[in-house]
């Protein structure tokens, strides 16, 4: 019993350590996959949105329909812009993995916890700095 307990403690310590350790190659690969998957997904969203924009602009309609189309067109433009911004953010995170600065806070230079990166792989700041900067 005592033996099992001490083993658990060791595992727990290792787990705690891994949260503050520099990203291992395995972790880096994991985040790269995560980011690439997300980018591919967003690119599909972009392709669809562009397709819809095409459809809207070729649709001839009466004035009431045109007003509706104009609204749809603006919504699409907004969607495209925000998706493009997200792709950019994710691409920058990928570049940080390549430069091995991924997981490093851009403000204080400290480590961003792996837990935070799991939730927000594109995070540029640690929790403390993010709160300081605000958003």
Q: Does 107 bind Zn ion (CB under 5 A)?
A: yes
Distances (CA, A) of 93 to 5, 51, 134: 39, 28, 20
Footprint on residues 66-105 left by Zn ion (CB under 5 A): 105
- Piece in contact with Zn ion (CB under 5 A), picked from 7-15, 41-49, 62-70, 108-116: 108-116
Distances (CA, A) of 1 to 7, 11, 14, 67, 101: 10, 16, 20, 74, 43
Q: Binder to Zn ion among 40, 75, 108, 120 (CB under 5 A)?
A: 108
Q: Does 32 bind Zn ion (CB under 5 A)?
A: no
Tell me the closest approach of the beta carbon of residue 62 to Zn ion, in angstroms: 56
Instruction: Choose between 94 and 105: whose C-beta lies nearer to Zn ion.
Output: 105
- Piece in contact with Zn ion (CB under 5 A), picked from 4-12, 13-21, 37-45, 120-128: 120-128
d(CA 52, CA 46): 10
Closest residue by Cα to residue 121 from 109, 97, 108, 129 = 97
């Amino acid at each position: 019993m005592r033996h099992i307990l001490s083993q658990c403690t060791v595992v727990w310590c290792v787990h705690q350590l891994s949260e503050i350790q520099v990203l291992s190659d395995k972790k880096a690969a994991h985040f790269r996959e995560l980011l690439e998957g997300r980018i591919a997904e967003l690119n599909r969203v972009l392709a669809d949105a562009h397709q819809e924009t095409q459809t809207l602009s070729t649709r001839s309609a009466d004035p009431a329909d045109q007003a509706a189309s104009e609204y749809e067109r603006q919504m699409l433009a907004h969607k495209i812009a925000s998706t493009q911004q997200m792709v950019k953010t994710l691409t920058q995170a990928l570049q940080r993995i390549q430069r091995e600065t991924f997981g490093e806070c851009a403000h204080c230079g400290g480590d961003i916890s792996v837990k935070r990166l799991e939730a927000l792989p594109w995070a540029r700041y640690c929790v403390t700095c993010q709160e300081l900067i605000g958003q």
